Amino acid sequence: LKDPIYLVLLVISFIPVLRCLLYLVILVLFLCPGPPDEYQLVQYIMMFKATQFLSSGAYLAINGTWKYYWCVDAKATHTCRENGPGESSLLGEYYGFLGVLDIVGSCVLVWTSFLLLPFSQQNAGLRKTEQQDNPQQAVLPEQRCFGCGWRQFQYEGRGGRLGGLLRYDFYSFLVSVLVLVGLQIGRYHEDPSKFLDAEAIHELETWKFRETLFVVRVLYGWTALPFAVFNLPVLSQVLTHTIPTGFNQRGAVVAYLLPPVEFADEDVAEEEMELAPGMHDL
């Protein structure tokens, strides 16, 4: 938290559309040198979904409630069409396009990362799992594939139980799309054929669509709550069965080790050194 660059990137990761651009760059950096690391890909997915819950779920819900409170007054008049939930005075009609890009970009990046897990490497070694008890199911012979010295691994245990959460995320996305279409048809009596028409892109510019999309973004953002919960250190290890890794000063992925303990008091250090032989005798 003392690094200003880290703080800037952390803030960007909570801005819906910019978050997708930032994580796209990170994913490209993972892939360019060669096969990505399993732990880094898993943490990439978990962090992405956790920030989606906080920004598109919790933050947008609070922001929408605040806007709705101020756009409706006691005289039964409102200005929600101009500055209500789902509207932006700065972006105007483009806010609908950016909302769609945020949802679609989130799904594409997360699922692309998940599909890359079978091609990942375990740079910190293997964690023993039930699948490794059967050598025939653990790791098949490596096969070279095209580009960057990549090798293809057919290890089904990559990512642990993360696949179950990703299936849940996929179903949540489908439900969100159905809610979007259902609200457009039911509330505004839209013709379903408009969504398949060549002029469907103009629907993204209407305030009715932006309002409905806002509700769906909040709904889909809240479905990412399990990812935020499992992002906690202990639960993350239980879910993913991965060993932590990090980048050294040369940019190589290595097993993550805690830095050595530095004693602030020299007397304490000497006392520890004197106790060390006695510990060995025990």
Write out pLDDT tens, residues 216-269. Answer: 999 999 999 999 888 887 777 677 677 778 777 777 777 776 665 554 555 544
Residue 279 domain flag: no
Q: Report long-range pairs for 27-34 (Cβ below 8 Å, ≥24 apart).
A: 27/109, 27/112, 27/113, 31/116, 31/148, 32/148, 33/148, 33/251, 34/148, 34/149, 34/150
C-beta of residue 237 within 8 angstroms of C-beta of residue 43: no
Q: What is the pLDDT of residue 128?
A: 47
Helix (H, G, I), strand (E, B) or coil at 219: helix
Residue 122 domain flag: yes
Please give the backbone phi and psi of residue 72, each rounded to the nearest 5 degrees, phi first: -120, 130
Tell me the sheet residues that pair with 152: 143
Q: Decide if pLDDT at 278 tops 60.
A: no
Is residue 247 within a helix (H) or strand (E), and if so which, with residue range?
strand 245-247
Split at pLDDT 50, 70, 90, the class of 125 is low
Residue 119 is part of which domain span? Answer: 4-126+138-239
Residue 262 domain flag: no
Residue 277 domain flag: no
User: Average of pLDDT values for 3-20?
Assistant: 87
User: Average of pLDDT values for 159-177?
Assistant: 86
- Summary mean pLDDT of the chain: 75
Q: Rounded to two decimals, what is the model's pTM?
A: 0.73
Q: What is the pLDDT of residue 28?
A: 92
User: Average of pLDDT values for 87-92?
Assistant: 70
Identify the CA nearest to 124 among candidates 248, 36, 245. Answer: 245
| Total domains present in the chain | 1
Split at pLDDT 50, 70, 90, the class of 143 is very low
Residue 233 domain flag: yes
